Chain A
Amino acid sequence: MQTQETGSSKHASANQSRPGDSSRDDVVIETRNLSKVYRDFWGRQKVRALKALDLEVRQGEVFGLLGPNGSGKSTTIKLLLGLLFPTGGEALVFGREATDVQINERIGYLPEESYLYRFLNAEETLDFYGRLFEMPAKLRRERVKQLIEQVGLNWAKRRPLKEYSKGMVRRIGLAQALINDPELILLDEPTTGLDPIGTREMKDMIIDLKSRGKTVVMCSHLLADVQDVCDRIAILHQGELKELGRVDTLLKVRDVTELQVAGLSDKALAEIRSVIDADGAKLQSVDNPTTTLEELFLSIVQDSEARPGRKATGSDS
């Protein structure tokens, strides 16, 4: 039997791990009070895109950024990549400011729409990005060949990207993000434009990256994808962090108990525990039921709109 209430308050709230709580050596991304205000030409405030975001992403994690359109997740990614400058606070990647060019040696980035040069073919594209990392020619050739095979584009490697389908462009986009064998991979809507097989392959690739100790930060609208691959997620709404924690913890409905009972008679339904004891039945498990990420997401957004300004408070890990 399972009952469920909506509202984020009923879900497990997740505490962010605090600096000093554990070893800080494995912190890959850290934002402190990170804020971004978009201004017009005259410096007047247009949009407050991100409000005092505190985040930590540790090595080897697959971290998901969720939020509706305009929630600030793309802004967060862009701030982490140095594509935007913070209005307040700071964004640190590998312990250095996000605008520091040197950290890009260890980063791979797959943008939302694989913004690639469409007059180049797959080999040229990967070779070009490899040259930006000053990779030796031999290593570059090997890496290009390996990545093209990995993303399954060997048959089209000499065709210019302008002749590629959207899914093919996404694949080559992923390959360019991995050209330098990065430690941190930022994926913006990684499964957009992919067919179900491509989506599955992408998710497998993310899991594979995790198994190789890489850190992956992804933002996506496709909640099922996030649920499948992410260890932890942050839910943003209107520029504020609304929820943060492990996916399995967040999806547990704490105030509802789910009993799985084998051989329970109809008479015992009213007073379960006593009847179980009296009836001599065996209690197999007592647990909280899980909701879907979609339900969690919708409940947080509804709650946020009902009570604007409330931030994530609770905790997990």
Chain B
Amino acid sequence: MEYVTTPPDFFPWLRESGLTFLLVVVGLAKISILFGYLVTAVRRGPVAALSITSKAIAGGVVDLVRISPRRVMALAWLAIKESIGRRVLVVFVIYALVLMFAGLILDPTLRETGRLYVGFVLNAMLYLMLALAWILSAFSLPNDLKQRTIYTIVTKPVRPSEIVLGRMIGFSAVGSMLLAVMALFSFLFVVRSLRHTHAVEAGSQTSLVTGHRHVIDKNQVGEEGGTTDRAHSHSHHVDDPSRGEMTGPSQGELIARVPIHGTLQFTDDKGQPKEKGTNVGKEWTYRSYIKGGSLAAATWRFSDVRAEDFCDAEGKTDSLPITMNLRVFRLHKGTIDRGVLGSIVLRNPDDPDLVSGMITFRAKEFQLDEIDIPRHLLSGKPGPDGRPMRLDLFDDLVSESGELDVQIQCEESQQYFGMAQEDVYLRSRDGSFAMNFIKGCLGIWLQMVIVLSLGVMFSTFLSGPVTMIATLGALVTGMFAGKISALVAGEYLGGGPIEAFVRIVTQRNLVSPLEVGMATTLIEMFDKAILFILWVILKLLPDFQSYSNIDQVAIGFNIPGMLSLQHLLSALAYLSVAMVVGLFFLRTREVAR
């Protein structure tokens, strides 16, 4: 899973996306008009078709321009009443049951309970809301047509655009209300489930609670108290361990880290720059490796490094937190529970002489290494007096343009560190977890609203059951957009769908080519056609996965506000298209048939 912690710059994104959107809309409009004209021409003749088509377009535009907010609100109110009449509040009961069972099923003794609980509640909300949106939107308009209640609507001065928009808004309001209440209960459930304290035992460790205990380093506990070690992704405040009291509540478990990523550059064991590190033979080539006990290094260049981004609650910046998710590849076992020694050196990109001394750490497999580099540190090179200089990290090591180089090396020969660009980041001041949780819910809300809109759009020209199938198809395709996109791009072995089917039936492996001949040519031709259709569908349907930030919230990364804004705008674009398409279908439909 790839987390977007640094969204693209807003205005270039807006310009590019807006242009693509306009091109697609204009292209679709042209195709739809041509198709509509041809169908009408077949039925009514080419001249009449011209008049009918132009009237439909003009009428549609008028319908869009003259939307009455009051009528839309009236129709939205009707949709809300209808939803309540259809017992949507049952979703609350289902969710309450889910939470009750979650309390029994979720294992609080696992190491990353925060991730488990947050991921669970957000996923439960997502699937419930999507199911609700799917069912609500699919049957509303078809039922109105079937039961002919629509007769009393369309014989009032109501425009088709108002009917479509009213439904979208009404159902979205119901979904939003449900989601808001669920989100509140989910948040309370997570916070209360994870909140716990330990009894301090013998002054140096805590009691065992939910499968873990903490160690208290007495040297780090002063008059104002201190914190325990970090175990199971959290720590506790301790007032005075010698008094044998209870610890404070768990802290640091529900977080919203704000990472600042840099660009990665490798150097080989001779100190020469290289595009990639060493390949240690792993199939997944996402990470490259650097050899220990050599000049091989991985250097990240961070931009826009500012002291104020790393300040504490009191506004002081005493350190630079660096988080590393390094892989360790051992040629010999060594001391397996001790970790492999590595070093960090900070350097001013503009002045090679301004370099910090070596800061060592031990990297363990599958564990985040979090290091606070002190703001004031000694230089790695001697000053004019022959002794190491005292450096201020932000004043001396960060260049005037705000850049900072961080070099990591493995210090043990015969061992390797593996890394990718995203594995090391500067950890800026954390965002609010509650706010991040809300942003995660916003992602769910956007997906729900898109599904609702698609459902309402399909229901303007399809029956209820067919609308359900169409909406589900769009949802599933959108959820697997990444995989389908890879299939279309030819990233999977075994060819397109038909070739893959032939390989399954004939029990061929994925890599051996098919025999050259007419059959293979035909298979490839049909595959190309299918993949082209898939490509078109992918371009038209929303990529639901891109709206889903659940894992990002669960794992504790802040969702940038700008990213949420971009998602909101792109969702609005889909909604507007769905509304216009729905309007034209409803407008050209005889409701009494």
Contact = CB atoms under 8 A, between A and B. Distances in A.
Interface stretch (B91-99, B149-157, B323-331, B473-481): B149-157
A109 B155 contact: yes
A134 B591 CA distance: 23
Contacts of A134: 68, 70-71
A82 B158 CA distance: 12
Interface in B67-85: 68, 70-71, 73-75, 77-78, 81-82, 84-85
Contact of A132 (B153, B591, B593): B153
A43 B42 contact: yes
Nearest to B149: A115
Interface in A95-136: 101-102, 104-105, 107, 109, 111, 113, 115-117, 119-120, 124, 128-129, 131-134
A83 B77 contact: no
A102 B157 CA distance: 6
A78 B68 CA distance: 25
Contacts of A105: 157
A105 B66 CA distance: 15
B74 A131 contact: yes
A115 B152 contact: yes
B507 interface: no
A117 B157 contact: no
Contacts of B155: 81-83, 104, 107, 109
B519 interface: no
B152 A83 contact: no
B148 A113 contact: yes
A174 B19 CA distance: 51
A84 B70 contact: no
A124 B151 contact: no
B147 interface: yes
Contacts of B593: 38, 84
A215 to B, nearest CB: 15
B105 interface: no
A304 interface: no
A82 to B, nearest CB: 7
A115 B148 contact: yes
A107 B151 CA distance: 13
B590 interface: yes
Interface string B151-183: 111111111000000000000000000000000
B59 to A, nearest CB: 8
Contacts of B153: 132
B157 A104 contact: yes
Nearest to B159: A101
A84 B154 CA distance: 11
B43 interface: yes
A85 interface: yes
A160 to B, nearest CB: 9
B159 A119 contact: no
B516 interface: no
A82 B150 CA distance: 12
A35 to B, nearest CB: 12
B81 A119 contact: yes
Nearest to A124: B81
Interface centre among A85, A124, A131, A176 (most CB of B within 10 A): A131
A39 interface: yes
A81 to B, nearest CB: 5
Nearest to B588: A85
A101 B43 contact: no
B313 interface: no
B80 to A, nearest CB: 11
Given A105-B157, A117-B81, A131 B147 contact: no
Interface string B303-340: 00000000000000000000000000000000000000
Interface in A66-105: 78, 81-85, 101-102, 104-105
A172 B324 CA distance: 71
A78 B592 contact: yes
Contacts of B74: 128, 131-132
Interface residues of A, number: 31
Nearest to A127: B74
B81 A101 contact: no
Given A111-B151, A115-B151, A117-B78, A83 B71 contact: no
Nearest to B150: A115
B167 to A, nearest CB: 13
B154 A111 contact: no
A191 B152 CA distance: 18
Contacts of B70: 131, 134
Contacts of B85: 119
A132 B81 CA distance: 16
B154 A82 contact: yes
Given A101-B158, A133-B156, A39 B71 contact: no
A199 B446 CA distance: 52
Contacts of B81: 117, 119-120, 124
A82 B63 CA distance: 15
Contacts of B149: 115-117
Nearest to A38: B593
A104 B148 CA distance: 18
Contact of B152 (A85, A101, A109, A180): A109
Nearest to B77: A128
A80 B450 CA distance: 36
B15 to A, nearest CB: 37
B152 A116 contact: yes
Contacts of B84: 119
Contact of A84 (B43, B78, B590): B590
Contacts of B157: 101-102, 104-105, 132-133
Given A105-B157, A133-B157, A119 B82 contact: yes
Contacts of A107: 155
Nearest to A37: B43
Contacts of B68: 134
Given A104-B156, A128-B78, A109 B590 contact: no
A111 B148 contact: yes
A84 B592 contact: yes
A131 B77 CA distance: 10
Contact of B147 (A104, A115, A176, A180): A115
A85 B590 CA distance: 7
A50 to B, nearest CB: 13
Interface string B103-121: 0000000000000000000
B151 A109 contact: yes
A83 B158 contact: no
Nearest to A179: B156
Contacts of A120: 81
A102 B148 CA distance: 21
Contacts of A132: 71, 74-75, 153, 156-158
Contacts of B78: 117, 128
Contacts of A81: 151, 154-155
Contacts of B590: 83-85
A176 B153 CA distance: 11
A170 B536 CA distance: 50
Contacts of B591: 83
Contacts of B592: 78, 83-84
Nearest to A188: B151
23 contacts: A43-B43, A81-B151, A81-B155, A82-B155, A104-B157, A105-B157, A109-B155, A111-B148, A115-B150, A116-B149, A117-B78, A119-B81, A119-B84, A119-B85, A128-B78, A131-B70, A131-B73, A131-B74, A132-B75, A132-B157, A132-B158, A134-B70, A176-B152
Interface of B: 42-43, 63, 68, 70-71, 73-75, 77-78, 81-82, 84-85, 147-159, 590-593
Interface of A: 38-39, 43, 78, 81-85, 101-102, 104-105, 107, 109, 111, 113, 115-117, 119-120, 124, 128-129, 131-134, 176, 180
The list of the 6 closest CB pairs from A to B, nearest first, reads A119-B85, A131-B74, A83-B592, A115-B148, A132-B156, A109-B155
Given A39-B43, A82-B154, A119-B82, 6 more contacts: A81-B154, A109-B155, A111-B152, A115-B148, A128-B77, A129-B156
